[in-house]
Amino acid sequence: MSDTRFHEMADGRRIAFRLAEGAGPCLVFLPGYMSDMAGGKASALFEQARAEGRAALLLDYSGCGASSGRFAEGTLSRWREEVLALVEHYGNAPILLAGSSMGGWLMLLVGEALGDRLAGLVGIAAAPDFTLWGYSAQQRAALAAGETVLEDNPYGPEPTPTHPGFFADAEGHLRLGQEIAIDCPVRLLHGQCDADVPWEISIELAKNLRSDDVQVTLVKDGDHRLSRACDIALLERIVAALT
């Protein structure tokens, strides 16, 4: 992408991003696990914002897409640090976070850190705590013992790895089953044919959020990606209503 820029972290990590200047709040899209800012949902929301003169920020976590680093070193804490660094460096507008799958877990962590700057959350098949409910007891034991777990990848030829460093860090960021101290408007979108993240996770997340302004939209025939034209059009309407 010709408008990709790079932000250098203090330790030399180079984080790829795209920034559309415009009115706030600034939409910040957080991709899923092993995903990047070139995905269909991220691109559609970025172009919608740019066409309407609204601010938007896309990024690749370190070890993903065009950013530097090794994916095996990635953690929620590390990626939260990168998102916050970009948000703090490139403006002071209110922030609307949109998180897809694992990005829906990360948006909670970033949102908590943003405090009063947080204007809203949009979760797309949000997957908070997936290291807890998404793995068998045997897999969790292997990760706790320092092993990498490989799983079949329905979206590509290579297996999906979960590294022990990611797992150990994630155990300190579990959010379900307790009050989540976020008070902004929250919109959660989830397909009921999602084979990766049960739609009930969005229901549980809605219950745990402290905010009273929480709405869950279920797409009966929607899958995990929610990338059909009709799904993206629905997502665009949800985001536009919060800006």
Say which DSSP state 44 is in.
Answer: H
- Active-site residue, 227 included: no
Q: Which residues of 95-117 are buried (b: 16+ CB within 10 A; e: fewer)?
A: bbbbbbbbbbbbbbbbbeebeeb
Residue carrying structure tokens 């953690």: 75
> Which CA distances in Å does 201 have to 42, 129, 204?
22, 9, 5
Nearest to 59 by CA among 27, 24, 93: 27
Residue carrying structure tokens 């932000």: 7
Both tokens of 174, joined, read 């579990």
Distance CA 212, CA 182 (A): 10
- Active-site residue, 223 included: no
Find the catalytic residue in 163, 173, 190, 224.
Answer: 224
Alpha helix positions (H), 145-228: 164-170, 200-208
- Active-site residue, 152 included: no
Find the catalytic residue in 60, 101, 173, 202.
Answer: 101
Peptide bond into 25 cis (omega under 30): yes
Both tokens of 99, joined, read 């998180």
Amino acid at 135: Y
Amino acid at 226: L
Distance CA 163, CA 158 (A): 15
Find the catalytic residue in 60, 129, 169, 194.
Answer: 194
Q: Which residues are part of the catalytic machinery?
A: 101, 194, 224
